[in-house]
Homo-oligomer: A and B are copies of this chain.
Amino acid sequence: MHDLVRPTESARLPSIGVRIERARLTYGGVRLFDGLDFELEGGRCTCLLGPSGVGKTTLLRLIAGLADPEPPTVLAAEDGKPLDGRVAYMAQQDLLLPWLGALDNVLLGPRLRGEAVGAALVDRARGLLDAVGLGDRLQARPAELSGGMRQRVALARTLMEDRPVVLMDEPFSALDAITRLRLQELAAGLLAGRTVLLVTHDPLEALRIGHRIHVMAGQPAEIGPAISPEGSPPRPADDPALLVRQAELLRRLSS
């Protein structure tokens, strides 16, 4: 693993849990959530699966502070302080800025915060792009990149953020199986010790890198009990125990 991509202070980041209680949210008259409770364990990776359109993205956005929940929704961090400024969010779309090259897209966060973008930050961004396999496309604009490449730039940008809470919405969906495995490992490594919520459609992916795995279903949506596979992530993809778990997950998903 590249040393550069891991910020020096990351080890010192405190891990914070996040709790959401009695969430309620309505879109166009339809109750998407009603009394939904959910918890992200501090320092752990929680994976969320569920049918398309059930509200996974909406839940992520709610935690990121981007959706407007209705009362009596409560969103709270374990340490009682507000979540603002402690969350990194990777959306389902890549949301790259078309006028910036890959490197500048990755450096967007520090620039937006008005941090001095010195050699250290640039090197880290370079390192991250290198780690996602785009070390030779630093200046490429989004329009010149393939779908998977764009997703990888967005992933690098999210990892650049170095926040205690990281929310990722299908971050590997546009990647081939091999790249996906590599990047799962990269992400799991870099995000170790952080509170991660990862939405995915791939049960195996969830089983590889999740500490806890939940299935969301129904309308209004409910979140099922956690599955906690043994061992610590990233688990090897060919672990036979995972295949057994996968069958269980698929069963839950199809019920």
Measuring CB to CB, which residues of chain A are less than 8 angstroms from any residue of chain B?
27-28, 49-53, 57, 92-93, 133, 144-149, 151-152, 169-170, 173-180, 201-203, 250, 253-254
Contacts and interface: CB of A to CB of B under 8 A. Distances in A.
A179 B51 contact: yes
Contact of A177 (B146, B177, B179, B250): B250
A109 B62 CA distance: 37
A163 to B, nearest CB: 23
A170 B174 contact: yes
A178 B253 contact: yes
Contacts of A174: 52, 92, 170, 173, 201
A60 to B, nearest CB: 11
Contacts of A170: 147, 174
A178 B147 contact: no
A179 to B, nearest CB: 5
Best-buried of A49, A92, A147, A175 by chain B (most CB within 10 Å): A147
Contacts of A254: 178
Contacts of A202: 177
A173 B173 contact: yes
A247 to B, nearest CB: 9
Best-buried of A52, A149, A175, A250 by chain B (most CB within 10 Å): A52
A80 B70 CA distance: 62
A211 to B, nearest CB: 20
